[in-house]
Amino acid sequence: MAGPIREGREAQPLRSLLSRTDKTILGLAIPALGSLAIDPLLSLADTAFVARLGTVELAALGVDTAILTFAFFLFNFLAGVLTPLVARALGKGDVSEARRWVGDALVLAAVLGVLVTIVLVVFAPALVRAMGATDEIAGPAVDYLRIRGLSTTAVLIATVGHGAFRGHKDTVTPLKVVAVVNGINLVLDPLLIFGVGWGLQGAALATLIAQLVGAVWFLRLMVAHGMVSWPQRFLESLPSLFALGRNGVMLTARTGFLLAGFTFAASAATRLGTDEIAAHQLVAQLFLLSALLADSFAIAAQPLVAESASEGDLGALNRLARRLSMWGLIAGLILAVFVLVARFGLPLLATSEEVGDLAVSAGGVAALMEPIGALVFVADGIFLGLLSLGTMVVSTGAGALVAIGLMFYTPLGDSLTGIWWAIGAMMLIRGVVFALGYRRSASIAVKS
């Protein structure tokens, strides 16, 4: 009997290593990771179905995906800004304010959704042509874009749903919705593409139906959970709509700077040659896939930090921020090992031995920057929870400018590994700005 008792006593400290805060963080981060991972994984399946139709259809899908990704990216702020606003209101015990934010966000999603739908449907030919599509590709691309454009409002409503539930510290419900929605798309794709024979238009219709189901489901869940307070008059919502829009512009600017840095890196790699840009794309996809783990902790940080700040205890907020940063560092170290090993698999996807060798070398640099990158991504979630969006813009803008300058004016731009060192510098600068701005941002958030 002594053996089992001793083992139980020795196991107890292991279980106590995770504090209540740690369990809360992981309880939010793990389902969030699932939600983040499902979309890109099933998008690959979606692409695989279309690829069976032919090169023209696949090229048309590529053109439309670029357009839709940019269009939907502009409105991701509906989740990013709504999450801390709802969590802050709930932290203060003001349920009616939390409901009002969700209701106003839904109104904004509906208005923006209708406007974007009109643009996508009416100007589809011009948008496709602007992407450089040939006559052969333009026809199917326009048809697909017009069908998918009809789902814009549904996508934005679902985005609000993510923000509302995250604000209530619930990432499990969005995971269930995302899983079912993507499952519907996965079933309808082969049925409509091949079974009914609608081809690329069938793929668009499958996605449209799935996204409409997701939007309706999110709406029903938000109403059933008492998360929504509908505005009595549209004018009553204007102050909230302007606040959402203003914060949204800042958050979009921050993401725009981040995309600018990565886009310039791709451009610099392209100037080096075909092998370099092919290898860069392989490393970039591996890096972005691995970043999902850090992003899940950033999502967990948003409602937790916002709620803590609303309670007015700076010490508790600082302890939470340190704990979140610790998990960011742990995630970064795990990702560093993952990328260090996984980069040796990139040559299997490469088109030549030269591309494979370049990818392995650049992947080593990407692996080394994972710990810093993960900390920065978690810091994004912390500062978003603080609603310190100005610091986020300065951080990302400064980092992007430094990276672009290094690639343009120094020898770092003359090699693929140098380009990835420049990207690492961007992450480092972002982290320095966050570190310098945290104390001020936290103090303001606690007092507001």
Name the more confident of 218 and 73.
218
Task: Write down the pLDDT at residue 237.
Answer: 67
Can you tell me the mean pLDDT for 133-146?
Answer: 90
pLDDT tens string 353-390: 888 899 999 999 999 999 999 999 999 999 999 999 99
Q: Has residue 93 got a pLDDT over 60?
A: yes
Q: Has residue 343 got a pLDDT over 80?
A: yes
pLDDT tens string 435-447: 999 999 999 999 8
| pTM of the predicted structure, to 2 decimals | 0.88
Task: Write down the pLDDT at residue 99.
Answer: 95
Closest residue by Cα to residue 163 from 85, 104, 251, 241: 85
Burial (CB < 10 A; 0-12, 13-18, 19+), residue 48, is exposed
Q: Has residue 7 got a pLDDT over 80?
A: no
Q: How confident is the model at residue 316 (pLDDT cuts 50, 70, 90)?
A: very high
Q: Has residue 25 got a pLDDT over 90?
A: yes
pLDDT tens string 203-217: 999 999 999 999 999
Closest residue by Cα to residue 277 from 362, 366, 335, 340: 362
| DSSP tag of 228 | -
**Mean pLDDT for the chain overall:** 89
Query: Do the Cβ atoms of 158 and 175 come closer than 8 Å?
Result: no
Name the more confident of 12 and 115.
115
- Calpha distance 269→263 (Å, rounded): 10
